[in-house]
Amino acid sequence: MTQDTSDFARVCGPFIEKLFSDVRELTHSPAPRRGVTRLGYSPEEDRTVEYLKRAGEALGLESEEDGAGNLWLTLPGRDRSLPALVSGSHADSVLDGGNYDGLAGIAAAFCPVLWLKAQGIVLPRDYRVLVLRCEEQGLVGSTGLLGKLKPVDLDRRFIAGAPTLGELLARHGLDAQKLTGGKPLMDLTKIAAFFEAHIEQSSKLDNLKTARVGLVTGIRGIRLNRRIRAIGVGAHAGAIDFPYRHDAACACARFVSHIYDKWAHALAMGDDLVVTTGSIRTPDTAIPNKIAGECEMTLDMRSLDDEAFARFSAVIDRELDELAAEMGVTFEADPSIIIPPNHSDPVLMAHLRKGAESLGIGVQEMPSGAGHDAANFGAAGIPFAMLFIANQKGSHNPDEAMRMDDFLAAARVLTEALVRYDE
Amino acid sequence: MTQDTSDFARVCGPFIEKLFSDVRELTHSPAPRRGVTRLGYSPEEDRTVEYLKRAGEALGLESEEDGAGNLWLTLPGRDRSLPALVSGSHADSVLDGGNYDGLAGIAAAFCPVLWLKAQGIVLPRDYRVLVLRCEEQGLVGSTGLLGKLKPVDLDRRFIAGAPTLGELLARHGLDAQKLTGGKPLMDLTKIAAFFEAHIEQSSKLDNLKTARVGLVTGIRGIRLNRRIRAIGVGAHAGAIDFPYRHDAACACARFVSHIYDKWAHALAMGDDLVVTTGSIRTPDTAIPNKIAGECEMTLDMRSLDDEAFARFSAVIDRELDELAAEMGVTFEADPSIIIPPNHSDPVLMAHLRKGAESLGIGVQEMPSGAGHDAANFGAAGIPFAMLFIANQKGSHNPDEAMRMDDFLAAARVLTEALVRYDE
């Protein structure tokens, strides 16, 4: 560890340790559940945002909320008319999730403030810490900010029986009509770049052992089918021979299995791709000795590469057509939800890479398989880059883990990239 | 139509039409539901048995109930010490089922009585109409009769919230302890042969058009797995690459798909086989963007051929082992329920075949895919044979259909076989 990074740990460590500890205390799941729960626009997320607002104000940052309830904390630069550098992540968590998914990226965004102040450095332009709302339920805070929220989104409930998003926004005094009006909540040319640090959502980085910080090359695009329904004909299991079957369960199973084989083939050809069937289910009335007349499944396909994305999306559609004919069933699919791949900005990447090199911090380039608010900024034409922090226990669970050294290394690299931005 | 068959229709038709109509009236499902409902040991099944008892007594038959509540109606033969010929089927139906599944076989068993009386024929031995209880819920009436009911069966409920089988038996004044004592309720050497007519449970026969009556070569054996559970590791759908997955949904889907391919191969090799996944399901907590850590499925395999049965059962076990290794999951299966294939008695088959030939009634040999009480008799060492009646709408549904001409043709063939038995 160089003198610089140990100084950085001395300056930032205590503040960060307290932040994680305080927010965990404010939002831990009630016993006997474990982990933290700060759902989007819940009182727990509100408490988190309020805490971060006070922490920022205590550091002398200017604070402001936008029309989606996102918190902006600004460290003024020398020329305040220049587009700002922005860094942050989301304040919310999943139900009984870990403390770091989202919060680590906000905490990391505070570190440049602490370090620059300690070093007496004033940046050429404003630097803004951005605390986003409600990422886990469809990137709501950033989508609203960027003018992409749709009226239909207001009817969504994140948990059965809970208020709708529209109701939650109203409770927060936020103007739902303005949020879904199709216009960004701010002049987006006022954002020069968005940096997001985040714990990696798998343990790939942690398993590598060669580097503890990931430089995210891009965020995989997603094709999501929430419901693909096979409709066949229910009939007696023992009495209906092979040629007379219209087996919906078997049709779905064959689709999943064939797609798995084709995924393996695409990987062998060098494509970046992940494909997942999260849910497959015959109706509750299905019984062992009856051929299933109905079956539903979901499909989540992701790729970082635009061509591989389009190619495999076509493979999926063709497979559905072929299987419908082969199995004598009909497939009905909800419209695909498509988020194209988003690539990190090469200039920002270069700043991060060179910054890490100069500090002697090992980094590993890697795609992000999970979606992130940063992808929304990229899709809106704002250059972005992401840093991954090694994680030992996966994410979205109470046992999610992160080492403070790894966190501080990522925050140090982020700080260095901000300083290098105008050099 | 020969004179003989048109005479047969004249003798039996009115009685049979009235029987179907009366029992339908006694047991139709309450509106707005359709079909009939006479669940095992329900008041509706009781009413049906009581009606049939009176109908038999009106024909001069001796009536008797056994310890499982099955009704025996006896037409005395010349030598009453000889083992009897028995024919019948089950009085119960599924919930909102059709009127003919089960009842047609009982009605057909009445026809020889009507015909023999009209012709003034007395058989060399007793002929007994057997009205069995509760077939649809696991062949309970015949299993009890044959001494194969187990104490654990008494705890079963056929519908959630309904009384257990033990409670139902007690309400009928039946001795559950005697029924599960491991001994048949009667001396089985007193049964020379069991004939069962039944509507076919698919429309294979009806589609053939060449013959309206099926001669059942045997009843497929069953290997039933009520629950095969794959246990993997739940994880983020986008962030976990191919080699790091333990996807339980995909593992189950691949099993179903591979088994389907292997089934097709076994059929191409000439095996008699049907394989069905009635139910496949990830837990209710499964979501599209999470790799499923758990998935459950059922498996129902049937074959008429002992060797093919054993061969494919081994294929299933091997496939589970191979997939567990390939997919990095564990499969946990409930113990397989095994009912071996049961073959129709060749002598009885010959009587039926020759009888049909002599009457000019076209028949088609075919296996029974569905289970039947007759299989229980076969497993107990009692020679059996079955006749299928063409059916236009499948079974276990309110629209189940049967043509009276087809029914009478089957009943005529049955009657002829009984007469030929001692010739």
pLDDT in tens, B205-225: 988 878 889 999 999 999 999
% of chain B residues with pLDDT over 90: 82
Residues B82 and B228 in one domain: no
The enclosing H or E element of A88 equals strand A84-90
Q: Is B117 an 8 Å CB contact of chain A?
A: no
Q: What is the pLDDT of residue B220?
A: 93
Please check whether residues A382 and A404 belong to one and the same domain: yes
Q: What is the pLDDT of residue A5?
A: 84
Q: What is the pLDDT of residues A40-57, one digit of tens each?
A: 999 999 999 999 999 999
Tell me which of B315, B339, B363 is where a domain ends: B339
Alpha carbons A172 and A32: distance in angstroms, whole number: 30
Same domain, A352 and A416: yes
**pLDDT tens track for B371-381:** 899 999 999 99
Residue of chain A nearest B245, judged by CA positions: A276
Domain boundary among B286, B315, B339: B339
Locate tokens 């060797």: which residue?
B307
CB A165 within 8 A of CB A156: yes
CA neighbor of A207 nearest in space, from A354, A399, A366, A358: A366
What are the angstrom distances between the C-alpha of A7 and each of A17, A108, A154, A409? Answer: 16, 16, 47, 12
Is residue A319 within 8 A of residue A259, CB to CB? The reply is yes
Q: How far apart are the CA of A230 and the nearest CA of chain B, in angstroms? A: 13
**Residue of B297, B147, B274 whose CA lies nearest to B221:** B274
Are A71 and A53 in contact by the 8 Å Cβ rule? The answer is yes
Tell me: do B211 and B308 sit in the same domain: no
- B23 vs B18: CA distance, rounded Å: 8
For B403-415, the pLDDT digits (tens) are 999 999 999 999 9
The last residue of a domain, from among B284, B306, B339:
B339
CATH code at position B295: 3.30.70.360
What is the tally of structural domains in chain B? 2
pLDDT of A70 over the 90 cut? yes
Query: Cβ of B298 and A291 within 8 Å?
Result: no
Chain B residues inside the 8 Å CB shell of A264: 242
Based on the domain organization, do B35 and B122 belong to the same domain?
yes
In this predicted structure, the answer to whether residue A1 has a pLDDT above a threshold of 70 is no
Residues 6+ apart with CB under 8 A from B174: B67, B68, B69
pLDDT(B394) > 60: yes
Model pLDDT, residue B36: 96
Could you check whether the bond before residue A112 is cis, i.e. omega within 30 degrees of 0?
no
CATH code of residue A400: 3.40.630.10
Q: In degrees rounded to 5, what are phi and psi of residue A66? A: -95, 180
Strands A71-75 and A274-276: unpaired
For residues B385 and B330, state if they share a domain.
Answer: no
For residues B121 and B213, state if they share a domain: yes
Residue A289 scores a pLDDT above 70 = yes
Same-domain check for residues B347 and B386: yes
The string of pLDDT tens digits covering residues A201-250 is: 888 898 887 888 999 999 999 999 989 999 999 988 888 889 999 999 99
For residue A233, what are the domain limits? 221-339
The pLDDT value recorded for residue B157 is 85
Model confidence over A156-208: pLDDT tens digits? 887 778 899 999 999 999 999 999 999 999 999 999 999 999 999 888 898 88
| A22 shares a domain with A12 | yes
Whether B2 shows a pLDDT value over 80: the answer reads no
Does B38 share its domain with B154? yes
> If you average pLDDT over every residue of chain A, what do you get?
95
Token pair, residue B111, equals: 């026809």
Average pLDDT over residues B310-314: 97
ipTM of this model?
A: 0.80
Residue bearing tokens 């992401």: A386
Which residues 197-226 of chain B have a CB within 8 Å of chain A? 200-202, 204, 220, 222, 224-226
Q: Which residues pair with B301 in a beta bridge?
A: B223, B275
Give yes or no: residues B128 and B270 share one domain. no
Q: How many CB atoms lie within 10 A of CB B34?
A: 14
Burial class of residue B398, CB neighbours in 10 A (0-12, 13-18, 19+): middle
Mean pLDDT of chain B: 95
B 399-418 → A contacts, CB under 8 A: none
Nearest to B289 among A237, A254, A278 (CB): A278
Distance CA B73, CA B110 (A): 9
B261-274 confidence digits (pLDDT tens): 999 999 999 999 99
Q: What is the pLDDT of residue B202?
A: 83
Q: Are residues A113 and A143 in the same domain?
A: yes
In the prediction, which pLDDT does A313 show?
97
